[in-house]
Amino acid sequence: MSKYIPVIGLEVHCELKSNSKNFSTGKNGNGDVNTNLSVVDIGYPGILPCVNKEAVKKSIMVALALNSTVPEKLTFDRKNYYYPDLPKGYQITQLHDPVGVNGSIKIDCNGVTKEIKIHDIHLEEDAASMEHFSDVSLINYNRAGVPLLELVTEPCIESPEEAVAFLEEMRRIYQYADISEADTKKGQIRCDVNVSIMDKDSNELGTKVEVKNVNSFGNVYETIKYEIERQSKLKDEGRYDEVVQETRRFDEETGTTIRMRTKADAIDYKYFVEPNIPKFKIDSNLVEEIKKCIPVLPNERKIKYINEYGLSEYDANIIIKNKEYADYFEECVSLGMDKKIVANYLIVQIIAYLNKEAISLNEFYLKPNLLNQIISELEKGNISSKQAKDIFNKALEEEKEPKNFISKDNAQISDSNELTIIIDNILKNNTSQVEAYKGGKTNLFDYFVGQVMKETRGKANPSLTKEILKDKLDN
């Protein structure tokens, strides 16, 4: 056990889905380099920002979904600094009246539930993106002005595992609320990671180091792990004064962090209220309206799956991990399929298939109505679970409706009259085995089951077969 308690706070930026930019009519979305921009985004003289109502609504939705307090009025502030990816010379953000304060997210980490406190959530704009080459840097202004939601946690995270659990839950909520794809691979989520350590018996926070722009959850994990080790080692060696308040970056190649600038070089942003955007009131009716539009979030769905549908926590966790899975599952249930059978199919067959083919559930051929053709026959006992799997695979392979592969002649025999006739015949032809069984050799039971399967070429319903056999042999 380490002598120190790690203290971690995250600042997470997420690009919002919207038609246009946060303060202009420039398009937010894919496009050729330097085509999605307006004069506002590239900082022409005399420009005036215009607030994107959709982005404000989405931000309020997130604030509410994360149990935050939404203020009665919103203001925007100017954060002044010069950088080539920021042509206006300032970023419009929120310092004084952010869209949400005092929020929280519940996470499950190593079997323990913990509430992570959120200091605030604020709406701002993204900068342009740059690509650096040996002798030239290129700037693409398509990203300049894209609505960006920044979430700032309190310094209450204590391990890299908790940090990742938090980020995953946050991303799920964003995806369920449909405010962003929240795809780290597309650069839609970027994270500043603050790390310090403190003595076990102290309640005074240590000196924090900020690691900027970490671009994947895996790298957030590595960053925190590395920083805890680095700071602990310095402290162990009596060199804690070398841990200074500074900004570092994560180096993927070495798995270490590298100093960028110290506090002495810290930038003074000279914030002031953005004079070109009036303070505006958030009507309580609007807040109520948005509240009603928040979809059922992952945690609520999980509770329903466990308590109402009788799924195990393990299965429920897999299904809610991805909104597509949860939506698919619920559509199946609404078609009347057995909840446990569907959950099992989704987890064992479907997700494995998606992983193997590297496709998403949206691209999966067997939509719930098609899967139903298999599951309903399975539930009626017309086909065995082995046959169901074969039909599932054939339907996928040939992209043909499963019903094409369910024929009378491979149907399972679940008619007890029909099975009784077959079983009576078998017992009549195996009198010596029947004698032996009745004399105590009860392990012959499987022999009789085998005979029935042989006779029916595997189509006899196994549980019904056993039931009839037991009845005949034991009475």
> Which residues contribute to the site for Mg ion (CB under 5 A)?
150
CB-count exposure of residue 318 (10 Å: 0-12, 13-18, 19+): middle
The closest of 41, 165, 152 to 98, measured between CA atoms, is: 152
The closest of 379, 369, 364, 380 to 402, measured between CA atoms, is 369
Site size for ligand ADP (CB under 6 A)? 15
Which 11-50 positions form the footprint of ligand ADP (CB under 6 A)? 11
Beta strands 137-140 and 209-214, pairing class:
unpaired
Rg (alpha carbons) of the chain, rounded to whole number: 31
- The total of other beta-carbon atoms located within 10 Å of residue 253's CB is 5
Report the largest interatomic distance among the alpha carbons of the chain, rounded to a whole angstrom. 103
Q: Is 99 in the site for ligand ADP (CB under 6 A)?
A: no
Contacted entry of Mg ion, ligand ADP, none for residue 378, CB cut-off 5 to 8 Å set by kind:
none
Reported in sequence order, the residue ranges of 168-318 that DSSP labels E, i.e. its strands, are 189-199, 209-214, 246-251, 256-262, 272-273, 280-281
Q: Which of 4, 5, 9, 301 binds ligand ADP (CB under 6 A)?
A: 9
Strand partners, 317: none
Q: Indicate the residue among 154 and 331 with the shorter CB distance to ligand ADP.
A: 154
Stretch that binds ligand ADP, among 146-154, 310-318, 324-332, 340-348 (CB under 6 A): 146-154
Say if CB 382 and CB 411 are below 8 A apart: yes
Footprint (CB under 6 A) of ligand ADP, residues 178-237? 194-196, 205-206, 208
| Nearer of residues 153 and 184 to ligand ADP, judged by Cβ | 153
Q: How far is the CB of 8 from ligand ADP (least distance, A)?
A: 6
Pick the binder of ligand ADP from 43, 155, 381, 458 (CB under 6 A).
155
> What are the percentages of helix, strand and coil residues in the chain, rounded to 5?
45, 20, 35
* Binding flag, residue 10, ligand ADP (CB under 6 A): yes
Q: Nearer Cβ to ligand ADP, position 100 or 206?
A: 206
Asked whether position 153 contacts ligand ADP by CB under 6 A, the answer is: yes
337 binds, among Mg ion, ligand ADP, none (CB under 5 to 8 A by kind): none
Residues 217/167, Cβ–Cβ less than 8 Å: yes
For residue 315, the partner it binds in Mg ion, ligand ADP, none, with Cβ less than 5 to 8 A by kind, is none
Q: For the CB of residue 148, give the shortest distance to Mg ion in the complex, in Å.
A: 8
In the complex, minimum distance from the CB of residue 357 to ligand ADP, in angstroms, rounded to a whole number: 40
The reply on whether position 160 binds ligand ADP by CB under 6 A is: no
Smallest gap, in angstroms, from Cβ of residue 120 to Mg ion?
10
Asked whether the beta carbons of 347 and 319 are under 8 A apart, the reply is yes
Shortest distance in whole angstroms from residue 291 CB to ligand ADP: 27
Burial 94-113 (b: 16+ CB within 10 A, else e): bbebbbbbebebebebeeee
Q: In this complex, which beta carbon is closest to Mg ion, that of residue 127 or of residue 354?
A: 127
**Footprint of ligand ADP (CB under 6 A):** 7-11, 152-155, 194-196, 205-206, 208
